[in-house]
Structure 1
Amino acid sequence: MKALFFLGALTAPVVALAQPPAPTALDPIVVTATGQPTALGDTLAPLLILTREDIVRAQATDLAELLRFFAGIELGRNGGPGAVTSLFVRGGESNHTLILIDGVRMNPATAGGGAVQNIPPEMIERIEIVKGPRATLYGSDAIAGVVNVITRRATRSTTADLSLRAGSDATREANVYGAWGSDRGGISLQAQHLRTDGFPALAGQSEDTGYDRTSLNLGSHWRVGSVNLGARIWDSAGTAEYYGFDPTDFSRVVVEQDYRNQVAAVDATLPVDERLQVQLRVSRMQDDIEQRQSSDYVETVRLGTDAELVWRGNSQRISGSVGVVREDVEALSFGSAIDERRDITTVRLQDELNLGRHRAVAGASWSEYDGFGSRWDGSVDYGFDVTDSARLVASAGTGFRAPDATDRFGFGGNPELDPERARNFELGWQQGFGQIHRVDLRLFRSDVNDLINLSCDENFNCTAVNVDRYRNEGIELGYHLRADAWSATLTGLIQDPVDRTQQRPLLRRSKRSVALRVHRDFGRWDAGFDLLGSGERPDISADTAAPVTAPGYALLNLQAGVRLGSSVELRLRAENVLDKEYQTAAGFNQADASIYVGLRASL
């Protein structure tokens, strides 16, 4: 496998360079790094993009599987599809990555991060991943990075497609999408259903843990005079099976939980004059989990309004916003009941400059939280164009995670907790080679203080306190190629995430990882592969809670597609081709070698 990685890393770019395809510019418009539409070439932040073509080829079951083949984005999955999945970006905690759906926060106000296991890839148009703290734009949780999922929406034409997929573990999936659009606007509707019998999620067990998911996505946008209006709602609901405990003898048994994740928003863009515009948004987020074998449940409902003023000059863009959010949390977990309402007010200001060879983005934000008071955050990104194709980048920024309802009122809850605080420094080099190759090299250092942890005495009387801190230093490399026939992404990370309180490595994070994604279009058919290597990781046993070391692993996925006509396509995907036994969370199995077949018809 080491030889295979080395060969793939060297040959993919070389083979691509040897081909004579017409170049495709690597300069799409992105929004997550600055909060406003920005050409990729003008973006200073470390940014990864998955296009609609990447998503269709992957045939992944959920968002987590789409993200895992990038070095520095690690998963900790407690079993198979639908199982609780932690996302570790650049060595950060799982609740230090903010998940957005069309720019709307979906992280719950209870324990854990966003439910990436419940987001169906079929409904995604594009994914933008920004690494490093972005509190000045997005507030709490945006410490290690931000993942913005941009859903499919109508264009200026009428389109429709139907896709079916089936494969290992009795997996079956159906998806239907329809959209109508014109110069004035459009409307789209999409429905998806997935069901899989799964496999035994817990090592040493034999009963499968299944998962079913039904998702809807409705969106509309219209232009009325000079005003642009938009509305959308995304909803995912279903049931996930997992291994819990029998209360009579504490043996392991399969139990079930029902879930619902929903994000809705209405927005408007109103131009004041040629340089000034107002952007308004009202949003609602809901996160529900109900246990079937007990009365435990958690529910977060978040209502938010945001008003932003954007001024554009010849070489400058200034944006300022005011946001007001109300979070309602109700929960019952292990006998601890929570019923909390929290109000949040945020004021933000950002200035973007583009002066010849100099580029800069500076931002500041002030947040007022019920429970711990106010907080200031800031960030600065500076880029100097050494040549027309090379840029030196330096950045610094802060971030935070507000104590959630579980921290404050759950088991061992402490209403007097302070927020977790982060500080990040980064030095980078961006290099372009022609119009189709792009390299991004980053050196970074992240410090997080006042981490919240439970402090327990000998009688297991516990209290949540701000006691821990961690530091991660590393080097990250990204290479991207986009041409008519070829696409390739090579990412590598060397890092040292350390718990500075206990002086030991952070759990479930490897010090080295590398990933290579290559795809080639041959006309009527196409083919590609995903290759991932991850080093060993410290962890805690799922059965005994004893420290363990999870061995490193390598994964190889293959994919291919053939066009059966002008509107029909057959796709094949083989996962874990080498049939490796591995665990991303100690004690929890991952899928063996698997194969999936998909059929897509479009109008």
Structure 2
Amino acid sequence: MKLIASCVRHGAPVRLCVSALAVFAAFPVLAQSQAQGTLEEVVVTATRVAVPVTDVIADVSIIDRTALDQVGQGSLRDVLAQQPGIQLSSTGGYRSATGVYLRGASASQSIVLIDGVRVGSATLGSVAFENMPLDRIERIEILRGAASALYGPDAVGGVIQIFTREPEDGLHLSASVGAGSDGLRQAGAAIRGRDGALGYSVGVSKENAAGISAINNPAADSYNPDADSFEVASVDVKLTAQLSAAHALALSVLHSDMDYQFDGYAYPSPLNLTAATTDAWTRPTLNNVSLKWDAQWQPNWKSSLLLGQSDDKSVSDYYRMRDGAFDANSKFNTRRTQATWQNDISVGADVLTFLLETRTEKVDSSTNFTVKQRDIKSAMLSYALNRPRWNALAVLRHDDNSQFGGFDNWALSGGYRLSTNWRAVASMGTSFQAPSFNQLYYPNVGYYAGNPALTPQRNRASELGLKYLQGSLTAGASLYYNEIEGFIDPAKNSQSDLAVLRGVTLSLQNQVGDTRYAVSYDYADPRTKPGNARLVRVARNVLNFNVNHRLGTVSVFGELKLSSDRVDNALVYGGPRDVLAGYSLLNVGATWKINKDLSLLARINNLTDANYVLTNGYAMPGRNAFVSLSWAI
């Protein structure tokens, strides 16, 4: 009921709810039905088991390899920026520290998984999206909404799961080279195959650029007008073995190494350097290893045992610009180890899932944190009920945190088919999030200090939605309301009584003849209580529109984003928050299938040369171009 009451109390959400119904009423007119000639797509992240996308209750998006191939020189953040419910922050340039705000939740309030293993920094609480090699990703699934009952602490805004490249039958070779503005160079190669019971996928990629200046505001104390370059290299390996009809093993390894310049200086600085005299580098490294054993013990009982380890390393080095003399360095490294045992038991069309999980987060840093490790032990039970007209999912979970004790979470969701094309969905549930190590123990440096008195944030979320499917047309509308008790303001590192995340997401995808298009609109208005202050870096209104049209062997595409203004922390710490202007961003491009093995990609990003920022004081690239040639057999 709080969800409905929120619409009544706030003018904009009411209008949007009415608009959502009007848009849905028009969908049958828009639907020019087209037979679906491919197998039904499945989603794993929404329930932890493979479910046809047409039966998913939750609000999910899927990004496949075809969409990723069109990105060119873009990074993972550029892909995520086009998705419903997602907004970003960036500390400048093509590759730099990126925050993902899912449904208005802060950058630390979403979970990221790579092949089922949780990744990210336990000190910052966020994930180095800029260090994830796009070329080595097979598929991305985005689950929007509170999901701690399914995935444990921190899933306040949702879950982003990344699947690396898979083996394929036969032998497949591929390679690509590309070049673009600001000295950008890109290359990659891969080999994939399967011979009998054994499969393999091995790939490498490298990218570098002269870049642009990360900070564009001379008033910022870290301003330095020099161009900030970057270089990133990655390798991934996946080996699979079908030991028998009932048992399979998969080993996945992903390594990514990056160096990028940024504008800043050491604090303290032994050489008494300023931002103008410092050459500053961050060297993030991602190591992700997992071993998975899938077993079919009985016709109705299967299990998976996942062992994983993820290293998120962030080392910063500071040099004197004029002669390269070393000044100082810092490191904030996180190692996560994880063991997950999941059992799925079919009961007719229903599925009972039981899960046990243990995870350790260990910090190795130049800052001497009071506590450097936490352990989380978890148990989860879920039941997915499936009937011809309706389905439901009930989840119970207990997490025992070595720092903060035990927490229970639950979720209940259901979907009902109103007709052949229409489906109503609803969900509610709880989540919690423990403070990060930085939030708890970071030393007082004059502008930020840890607060060991912080306690875990607890939240209760609810959601209503409609889904429409006819032929190739799919559409969805979601209205969500999420109350976070004891919200930790990331700017002030203080705990407010409450934060309320509320909003509406509308989305539509369709293919008519040779034209495929997708459009989404988000209204988000996250605020703290009782002061009613807007949360930083989240725009109230965001529209995304993507279109792709095939002309024989050539496909042309366009990507348009319209965003309203946001608030952000002031350049001068402690001052009133600044308003970041709204912006429009247009990208265009084309792909040409030269022959069955060779294809050419060309794209222009920020065609109108818009001057915009995602984080106060930090620059984003102006108009830039990229061309690449890809070969695959």
Give TM-score, length-normalised by structure 1. Answer: 0.92
Range moving further from structure 2, 418-427 or 179-188: 179-188
One-letter code of the match for 1:281?
L
Please give the residue correspondences for 1:463-478 in structure 2 after superposition, counting only pairs within 5 Å.
Answer: 466-478=495-507
Q: What residue number does 2:347 align with?
A: 313
Q: What residue number does 1:447 align with?
A: 483
2:239 is aligned, of 200, 215, 220, to 220
Please give the residue correspondences for 1:126-137 in structure 2 after superposition, counting only pairs within 5 Å.
Answer: 126-137=139-150
Alpha-carbon spacing, 1:349–1:562, altered in 2? closer, same or farther (3 Å): same
Q: What residue number does 1:245 align with?
A: 265
Q: CA RMSD in A?
A: 2.2
| Aligned 8 A contact 1:543 1:587 in 2 | no
1:287 is aligned, of 306, 312, 316, to 312
2:552 is aligned with 1:552: no
2:405 is aligned with 1:380: no
Q: What residue number does 2:215 align with?
A: 202
State the Cα deviation string for residues 166-189 of structure 1 (Å, max 9, x = none). 101100011101012135230110
Give ranges in structure 2 of 5+ residues lacking alignment: 1-22, 219-223, 319-327, 444-448
State the Cα deviation string for residues 503-558 of structure 1 (Å, max 9, x = none). 21111111111101111222211111111001001112335553211110000000
| Superposed displacement of residue 97, structure 1 | 1.4
State the Cα deviation string for residues 147-167 of structure 1 (Å, max 9, x = none). 111111112221110011110
Q: What residue number does 1:529 align with?
A: 558
| Superposed displacement of residue 501, structure 1 | 4.0
Please give the residue correspondences for 1:88-237 in structure 2 after superposition, counting only pairs within 5 Å.
Answer: 88-203=101-216, 204=218, 205-225=224-244, 226-237=246-257
| Aligned 8 A contact 1:189 1:218 in 2 | yes
| Superposed displacement of residue 238, structure 1 | 1.6
Whole-angstrom CA distance in 2 between matches of 1:189 and 1:518: 32
Range moving further from structure 2, 30-39 or 542-551: 542-551
Q: What secondary structure sits across from 2:170 in the alignment? A: coil
| Superposed displacement of residue 304, structure 1 | 1.1
One-letter code of the match for 1:528?
F
Q: Going by fraction, where is strand more abundant, 1 or 2?
A: 1
One-letter code of the match for 1:89?
L
| Aligned 8 A contact 2:34 2:472 in 1 | no
Alpha-carbon spacing, 1:249–1:602, altered in 2? closer, same or farther (3 Å): closer
Please give the residue correspondences for 1:408-487 in structure 2 after superposition, counting only pairs within 5 Å.
Answer: 408-411=440-443, 412-433=449-470, 435-453=471-489, 466-482=495-511, 485-487=514-516
Whole-angstrom CA distance in 1 between matches of 2:479 and 2:201: 42
Whole-angstrom CA distance in 1 between matches of 2:70 and 2:126: 27
One-letter code of the match for 2:232?
R
1:272 is aligned, of 297, 300, 307, to 297
| Superposed displacement of residue 16, structure 1 | 8.8
One-letter code of the match for 2:629?
L
| Aligned 8 A contact 2:181 2:624 in 1 | yes
One-letter code of the match for 2:484?
V
Give TM-score, length-normalised by structure 2. Answer: 0.88
Whole-angstrom CA distance in 2 between matches of 1:327 and 1:89: 23
| Superposed displacement of residue 14, structure 1 | 11
Q: What secondary structure sits across from 2:304 in the alignment? A: strand
| Superposed displacement of residue 111, structure 1 | 1.0
Alpha-carbon spacing, 1:24–1:549, altered in 2? closer, same or farther (3 Å): farther
Whole-angstrom CA distance in 2 between matches of 1:43 and 1:424: 18
| Superposed displacement of residue 476, structure 1 | 1.0
- How many residue pairs match? The answer is 582
Whole-angstrom CA distance in 1 between matches of 2:488 and 2:478: 29
Q: What secondary structure sits across from 1:509 in the alignment? A: coil
One-letter code of the match for 1:478?
S
Q: What secondary structure sits across from 1:262 in the alignment? A: strand
Q: What secondary structure sits across from 2:186 in the alignment? A: strand
2:57 is aligned, of 44, 59, 73, to 44
Whole-angstrom CA distance in 1 between matches of 2:569 and 2:453: 29
1:586 is aligned, of 616, 619, 633, to 616
1:567 is aligned, of 582, 585, 597, to 597
Whole-angstrom CA distance in 2 between matches of 1:478 and 1:375: 34
One-letter code of the match for 1:497?
P
Q: What secondary structure sits across from 1:55 in the alignment? A: helix
Alpha-carbon spacing, 1:32–1:274, altered in 2? closer, same or farther (3 Å): same
| Aligned 8 A contact 2:249 2:293 in 1 | yes
Whole-angstrom CA distance in 2 between matches of 1:24 and 1:442: 28
| Superposed displacement of residue 113, structure 1 | 0.9
| Superposed displacement of residue 110, structure 1 | 1.0
Q: What secondary structure sits across from 1:399 in the alignment? A: strand
Whole-angstrom CA distance in 1 between matches of 2:490 and 2:463: 31
| Aligned 8 A contact 1:372 1:417 in 2 | no
Whole-angstrom CA distance in 1 between matches of 2:433 and 2:96: 24
Alpha-carbon spacing, 1:265–1:393, altered in 2? closer, same or farther (3 Å): same
State the Cα deviation string for residues 424-443 of structure 1 (Å, max 9, x = none). 1100001112x200111111
Q: What secondary structure sits across from 1:280 in the alignment? A: strand
State the Cα deviation string for residues 95-132 of structure 1 (Å, max 9, x = none). 01111111211122111411111112111111111100
Whole-angstrom CA distance in 1 between matches of 2:114 and 2:363: 20
Q: What residue number does 1:256 align with?
A: 281
Whole-angstrom CA distance in 1 between matches of 2:598 and 2:296: 42
| Aligned 8 A contact 2:491 2:569 in 1 | no
| Aligned 8 A contact 2:31 2:473 in 1 | no
Whole-angstrom CA distance in 1 between matches of 2:30 and 2:631: 30
One-letter code of the match for 2:358?
V
| Aligned 8 A contact 1:25 1:436 in 2 | no
2:525 is aligned with 1:493: no
| Aligned 8 A contact 1:452 1:468 in 2 | no
Whole-angstrom CA distance in 2 between matches of 1:355 and 1:215: 45
| Aligned 8 A contact 1:21 1:485 in 2 | no
One-letter code of the match for 2:257?
A
State the Cα deviation string for residues 48-94 of structure 1 (Å, max 9, x = none). 11111011012143110111112431111010123111111111101
Whole-angstrom CA distance in 2 between matches of 1:455 and 1:194: 33
Whole-angstrom CA distance in 1 between matches of 2:231 and 2:204: 14
Q: What secondary structure sits across from 1:95 in the alignment? A: coil
Whole-angstrom CA distance in 1 between matches of 2:273 and 2:334: 32
| Aligned 8 A contact 1:22 1:483 in 2 | no
| Superposed displacement of residue 352, structure 1 | 0.3
State the Cα deviation string for residues 314-364 of structure 1 (Å, max 9, x = none). 22001111011122112124xx44661222100001110112211101101
